[in-house]
Amino acid sequence: MEFRYLGNSGLKISEITYGNWLTHGSQVENDAAIACVRAALDAGITTFDTADVYANTAAESVLGEALKGQRRESLEIFTKVYFPTGPKGHNDTGLSRKHIHESINGSLQRLGTDHVDLYQAHRYDYETPLEETMQAFADLVRQGKVLYVGVSEWTADQLRAGHALAKDLGFQLISNQPQYSMLWRVIEEKVVPTSRELGISQIVWSPVAQGILTGKYQPGQQPPAGSRATDEKGGADMIADFMTDETLTAVQGLAPIAADLGLTMAQLAVAWVLQNDNVASALIGASRPEQVSENVKASGVKLDAEVLARIDDALGAV
């Protein structure tokens, strides 16, 4: 496993992070969830990502259980705040000082730790003054509950504003967590150039487009049993936008490229996001330990310009 610095900070994270959205506390039984975390640790992953909203807090609890007994100093544990996690009261959402302070305490308890390495604003809050949000994060940093602060799916302008306020308050905004894969490249236009300028890294989610880029979904055929596309607890809805014949057909064109490199399609997809030097880590999910063991082999793989061009040709306009 290779490690990269997260933004302009001294924190090194594994270039592949394990995340538990839609799996822990939901699609996947706890034994399988724990087996996935063990596979991640065995493969050298040290960075783990979750959120209080995943499975209405259950995902944090499962991850906390799975990491019990591990040396805390050897792990980077990331979580997020913004969305409501239960019955929605009027202050149970967003990035107000109240919601942030109350949410971190629940997350720390469920994760079984007295601090998280990265606390992320899961979305931008258009209702709360940004000054209030950043002051609340600054206070958590001073209290030692949070070591570093990041955000998720913020625009270039939002990153710039948050970064400036953090600097005034004596801490740094070091990361953004956006969707990024061969099939979803939106951040390349504005978010990545602005982040490079500010010293912010991307931790990118869904690098295999939720399973689509593994090639296991064939156009015109039923999805394999047990896959996310058959998960009625939420996964099927989340992956639906990618499940078009046009996309699935184009993705099959990546198979010979992966084969020529001696990689699986999943490894090619994870390696692809890691070619972007503004990406600190590819944030993978898994429903089985074998998927983790397979996908981590993308760490350290270099793709040359010819391979990148072949990928673009295969995917065409999708």
Position 297 contacts ligand NDP (CB under 6 A): no
Position 47 contacts ligand NDP (CB under 6 A): no
Position 214 contacts ligand NDP (CB under 6 A): yes
Residue type, 79: T
Cβ contact 48:36 at 8 Å: no
Q: List, in order, residues 6 or more apart from 17 with CB less than 8 Å away.
A: 45, 47, 48, 49, 78, 203, 281, 282, 283, 284
Q: How far is the CB of 110 from ligand NDP (least distance, A)?
A: 15
Position 152 contacts ligand NDP (CB under 6 A): yes
Of 89-97, 143-151, 161-169, 277-285, which segment contacts ligand NDP by CB under 6 A? 277-285
Q: How many other CB atoms are found less than 10 A from the CB of residue 311?
A: 18
Position 60 contacts ligand NDP (CB under 6 A): no
Among 111, 266, 271, 298, binds ligand NDP (CB under 6 A): 266
Position 76 contacts ligand NDP (CB under 6 A): no
Position 182 contacts ligand NDP (CB under 6 A): no
Of 137-145, 273-281, 289-297, 298-306, which segment contacts ligand NDP by CB under 6 A? 289-297
Between 209 and 303, CB nearer to ligand NDP: 209
Q: How far is the CB of 55 from ligand NDP (least distance, A)?
A: 11
Among 35, 287, 289, 299, binds ligand NDP (CB under 6 A): 287
Residues annotated catalytic, as ranges: 54
Position 215 contacts ligand NDP (CB under 6 A): no
Position 285 contacts ligand NDP (CB under 6 A): yes
Q: How far is the CB of 105 from ligand NDP (least distance, A)?
A: 21
Position 209 contacts ligand NDP (CB under 6 A): yes
Closest CA to 318 of 254, 218, 250: 250
Burial of 115 (0-12, 13-18, 19+ CB in 10 A): middle
Which chain residues interact with ligand NDP by CB under 6 A? Answer: 19-21, 23, 49, 152-153, 177, 205-211, 214, 216, 227-228, 266, 283-287, 291, 294-295
